[in-house]
Chain A
Amino acid sequence: MSVHFEQVSFAYDDRSLWRHGALADVSLSITPGSFVGIAGITGSGKSTLLQHLNGILKPTAGRVKVLDFTIGAGDKGPLRELRRRVGLVFQFPEQQLFEDTVEKDLCFGPLNFGVPLEEAKDRASRALEMLGLDDSFLPRNPFHLSGGQMRKVAIASILTMEPDIIALDEPTATLDPQSRAELLQLLSRLQREEGKTVIVVTHRIEEMLPYAESWIVMKDGTPIFQGTPAELVREERHLSEAGLALPECIRLWNQLAIKLGLEQEEPCLSAEAIAERVAALYEHEVHPPTWGGGAGDAG
C-alpha cells in the first residue's frame, strides 16, 4: 500500500475554542502506481485529507501510513524524506509561490533536497516544458502571471522534486478547457509510464472519469465511497448523497444499461464510447433493443 489511513480524525485548532473537526474516522487505502480521484463538495475535507499525505497536517487521532513512513497523533520525527517523495500541489497556487522568479521557485524544492544547482535548473526547464510553458517564463515574476500560468508553475515546482506520489488539490480550477485536458493527460502519462501514484482532488468528476482507476467520495470529513469507476457508476447514489452533481455520461450509461441489460458490463463513459457500444448492439442484434420513452434525451 502506498497510502493507508487508519481511523484518522483531524480537527483544526484542536484544544481551543475554535476547534473545528474536519476529518472523522477516515480509513482508506491507495495502491502504488494508481490514479486516484477524490471527489466531494466544498468543505467535505478533501484538502485536509490531502495535507495528511506529507505530514503538513498530522492526525489528531489514528495513523497515516505513507510509503514506509507512519505518522500518528503527536509524532514529531523529521519529515524531509517523506516530503521529497510526496509532492503536494496546494489548492491555491498563488499561495504556494514565494520566490521572485519562476526559476527560483522551481528550484526551491530540489535545492532543499540537496540536488546540485545545475541539475535543479535542468529539472526546472524540463518541468516547465511538460506543462507547456517555455523557458521564457524562467526569469519572470510568478506574481505577474495569469491564474492559469501560476497554477502550471505551481505544479511544475512539485514535479521538479521528482516525487513518487503526486497529490494535487483541484489542479484544473482556473485552467482553460484545453490546458485542463493536457494536464490530466500529463498526469496520466506520469502514472502509466513512470509508475507514479497520482492523487487528484476534484469536484468535476466527469473530466477525470477517463483517467481515474479508483475513486474516493468524501462527505462531511468521511469517505462514503471507495472503489473502481465501474462501482461508482453502479452506485451513483453515493454521488447525490455527497451532494455532487451526477455527471451526464454516468446518468446516460445507467439509463441505457437498465434499458438494454448492460448492468454487468464495464461502463462506457464518453459520448463516443456509448455510441459505439450501442451501434455494436444493433449490428450484432444480441439484444434487439426496445426503446422506451425517456431514452430520448440520451443523445
Chain B
Amino acid sequence: MRDKLLFGRCIDTGSPIHRLDPRAKITGMILYLIAIIAVGSWPMLLVTVVFSIVYMLATRIPLKYFVKAAKPLWVLMVFIFVVQSLTVESGEVVLQIGGWALYAGGLKSGFIAAARMALLVSFTAILTFTTTPGLLNQGLDGVLKPLQKIGIKTQRLTLMMSIALRFIPTILDETHKILKAQAARGADIKELPWKEKGKLLLSLLVPVTVSAFRRAEELVLSMESRGYIVGAPRSEYHLLTWQTKDTWFVLSYVLLVAVVLTYRFI
C-alpha cells in the first residue's frame, strides 16, 4: 500500500535538480503547465516529451517511478481519451458503426489530451520527488510572496499546504496500522471476499478520520505552545539562495513555452 503511493515522497539521489532553489522549480512547473496547455500538435508533443524525459533523467531517479506516479490517474486518462475522440469531428472518418463515426482528428486530439495529462502528472512528480516538503513549502511561500501586496494571506495557504502534505503519508500509515491490527484479530483484508473488503474499508473511515483530526489538533497545539502564530514574522530554517543555475533552469522553461506558443500561433 505504502509503496504504491508515491505522491509527496522525496527520493534523495543528490542530483543537480535536487539542489536547485525550490522557487526555481515551482516557477518551472508553472511554466511547464502553460506549455502543456498550449501543446496541440504532434511535433510539439514530441518536443515536450523529449524535454520532460531529459529533465527526468537528470534527477537520476529511475523513469519507472515517474510512470508509477501517473498510474493512479489512468482511469481519468482513458476517460479523457474516449470523450475527446468521440466528440471531436474533424479529419477523415476512421470507423463507422451505424450513425456513429470516429474521426482521425478526434483520435488525435484524444491521444494528445491524455498524453498531456500523463506528462503533467509524471513531470510535476519531479517537484515532489526532488524537494523535501519543508523546502517545497518555503519555495511556495517565496513564489506566492508578491500576492501579499494585494492583501492575500499567503502564509495561511502555505501552512495549509504543508500540513496537507505532512498528513497524507500519516493518514496512509494510520490506515495501514489499523488494517494490521484487524488482521491480527482475524479479519485480514487480503483474505476476505470483495464485499467484505469493501465493508472493512468503510469501517476504517471513522477511526482514520478521527485520528487524523486528533493528530491535526495535537499538531496545532504543539505548534502554538511553541509560539507559532500564523503570519507572524519568523526566521526561516534554511535561507534560500538563488543562483545562476536556477536562472538557467527557469530560462529553459521559458524557452519551452516560447517554442510551443510560437508554433501554435504562427
Chain A interface (Cβ < 8 Å from any Cβ of B): 13, 16-18, 51, 54, 56, 78-80, 83-84, 87-88, 90, 92, 94-98, 100, 108-109, 112-113, 143, 157-158, 161
Contacts and interface: CB of A to CB of B under 8 A. Distances in A.
A92 B177 contact: yes
Summarize B's interface: helix, strand, loop or mixed: helix
B226 interface: no
A170 B185 CA distance: 19
Interface string B143-171: 00000000000000000000000000000
B83 interface: no
Interface of B: 2-3, 11, 61-62, 65, 174, 177-178, 180-188, 191, 203-204, 206-207, 210-211, 214
B181 A98 contact: yes
Contact of A18 (B3, B211, B214): B3
Contacts of B204: 98
B1 to A, nearest CB: 11
B178 A80 contact: no
Contacts of B177: 90, 92, 95-96
B207 A80 contact: no
Contact of B203 (A56, A95, A98, A112): A98
B181 A17 contact: no
A80 B181 contact: no
A96 B3 contact: no
A16 B185 CA distance: 29
A60 B178 CA distance: 22
A83 B3 contact: no
19 contacts: A13-B3, A17-B11, A17-B62, A51-B180, A56-B184, A78-B191, A83-B188, A90-B180, A90-B181, A95-B177, A95-B178, A95-B181, A97-B207, A98-B178, A98-B181, A98-B203, A98-B206, A108-B182, A109-B186
Given A143-B214, A161-B185, A96 B207 contact: no
Contacts of A112: 185-187
Given A13-B2, A13-B3, A143-B214, A157 B191 contact: no
Given A78-B191, A95-B178, A96-B178, A90 B207 contact: no
A92 B178 CA distance: 10
Contacts of B62: 17
Contacts of A87: 184
Contacts of A95: 174, 177-178, 181, 211
Contacts of B185: 83, 108-109, 112, 157-158, 161
A20 B219 CA distance: 28
A98 B207 contact: yes
A100 B186 CA distance: 18
B242 to A, nearest CB: 30
A16 B62 CA distance: 11
Contacts of B188: 79-80, 83
A112 B184 CA distance: 11
A143 B11 contact: no
A80 B191 CA distance: 9
Nearest to B11: A17
Contacts of A109: 185-186
Contacts of A143: 207, 210-211, 214
A83 B206 contact: no
B129 to A, nearest CB: 10
A17 B61 CA distance: 9
Residue from B3, B174, B181, B182 having most chain A Cβ neighbours under 10 A: B181
A103 to B, nearest CB: 14
A155 to B, nearest CB: 13
Given A13-B2, A17-B65, A18-B3, A94 B211 contact: yes
Contacts of B65: 17
A10 to B, nearest CB: 15
A109 B186 CA distance: 6
B206 A96 contact: no
Given A16-B3, A17-B65, A98-B207, A83 B178 contact: no
A113 B183 CA distance: 12
A79 B210 contact: no
Nearest to B180: A56
A228 to B, nearest CB: 29
Nearest to A81: B186
Contacts of A157: 185
B18 to A, nearest CB: 14
A113 B3 CA distance: 31
B217 to A, nearest CB: 12
A92 to B, nearest CB: 7
Given A80-B186, A83-B186, A97-B207, 8 more contacts: A17-B11, A18-B3, A83-B184, A90-B181, A95-B211, A98-B181, A143-B211, A157-B185
Given A90-B184, A109-B186, A100 B3 contact: no
Contacts of A79: 183, 188, 191
